[in-house]
Amino acid sequence: MTAPPPRVRKAVIPAAGLGTRFLPATKATPKEMLPIVDKPAIQYVVEEAVAAGLDDVLMVTGRGKRALEDHFDRNAELEAVLTGKGDTARLDLVRASTDLATVHYVRQGDPRGLGHAVLCAAPHVGAEPFAVLLGDNLIDPADPLLSSMTAVREELGGSVIALMDVGAEHINRYGCAAVESAGRDGLVRVTDLVEKPEAGEAPSALAVIGRYVLDPAVFEVLAKTEPGRGGEIQLTDALRTMARDPEIGGPVHAVVFTGHRYDTCYRGEYLRATVRLACRREDVGPEFRTWLQTFVARDLAA
């Protein structure tokens, strides 16, 4: 009898990028620490990993990213002050990020691209399948994606990426996948990948979004992947090699996501994420929704 495939247990969160698209906020603050309502974006990402059963988290960081480590560490002084005041509600908030998961860190040194950041995780991950969650991409907590991806990996092996239909007019901003049917709704088999295709040359309108479940064979491929677009080692290039040759690390499947996802390095998407999540909050939500309705009906209509 063959052994069952290993369960996906580890999550890698690359967060070493410079975040230049969100300057000046990111001059001295990591973009992953920008709050959506009152919680740093990165905490939503770690919560998403934990919700999918991955509680071993490796963050790939670099210069200027100390705040990430501090956020997931204890803050004894703050806890003592809140304990002294008997402010248990805020104490719980402060402790929540520490108690969430076991968070490990590795530094990337030079930010030589997303593929290089993932390669920095190799010693921690070893020979297991693992998930990659981009620290600046938010998946709406109401639309779970990662657990459906790990389920596909556990059933079919290989690697699993997430795709989203962004429309033919926007596909040139993204990695784009050529796909074929996998014989079931919401799942496709990836046959090729093209980074930011020119208009008219895209094989589909399906864009790669920042969630991956990868076979550890990706490390060997990344180690041999030459710098591509922007002089950076691209994860998409390694995945293209794997999609074209299933002998390397098994097939590449994709879950086609139809929920809400926000690329928080774009100002507009950051604002949309903030408004949507604020509206849904039980504490600030009711008052904010009332204000928003009035703002749209009266101020915007004026």
Euclidean distance between CA atoms 282 and 289, whole angstroms: 11
Which member of 8, 52, 59, 60 binds ligand UTP (CB under 6 A)?
Answer: 60
Does the protein bind ligand UTP through residue 265 (CB under 6 A)?
yes
Q: Quick one: which segment of 72-80, 130-138, 243-251, 269-277 binds ligand UTP (CB under 6 A)?
A: 130-138
Which member of 116, 211, 240, 261 binds ligand UTP (CB under 6 A)?
Answer: 116
Does the protein bind ligand UTP through residue 18 (CB under 6 A)?
yes
Does the protein bind ligand UTP through residue 112 (CB under 6 A)?
yes
Nearest Cα neighbor of 266 from 210, 202, 187, 188 is: 210
Q: What are phi and psi of 179, to 5 degrees?
A: -135, 160
DSSP, residue by residue, 159-211: EEEEEEE--TTTGGGSEEEEEEEEEETTEEEEEEEEESPPTT--S-SEEEEEE
- Which x/- pattern, by CB under 6 A, does the window 67-106 give for ligand UTP? ----------------------------------------
Q: How far is the CB of 148 from ligand UTP (least distance, A)?
A: 22
Does the protein bind ligand UTP through residue 17 (CB under 6 A)?
yes
| Residues 131-150 contacting ligand UTP, CB under 6 A | 134-136
* Residue 57 or 265 having the CB closest to ligand UTP: 265
Which member of 8, 12, 15, 217 binds ligand UTP (CB under 6 A)?
Answer: 15
CB under 8 Å to 100, separation ≥6 — which residues? 43, 46, 47, 50, 55, 72
| Residues 266-295 contacting ligand UTP, CB under 6 A | none
Does the protein bind ligand UTP through residue 175 (CB under 6 A)?
no
| Helix or strand holding residue 108 (H, E) | none
Nearest Cα neighbor of 180 from 228, 252, 231, 76 is: 252
Burial class (CB in 10 A: 0-12, 13-18, 19+), 47: middle
Q: How far is the CB of 250 from ligand UTP (least distance, A)?
A: 24
Euclidean distance between CA atoms 194 and 178, whole angstroms: 8
Which residue number is nearest to ligand UTP in terms of Cβ?
Answer: 17
Euclidean distance between CA atoms 88 and 265, whole angstroms: 34
Binding residues for ligand UTP, rule: CB under 6 A, are 14-21, 60, 108, 111-114, 116-117, 134-136, 265
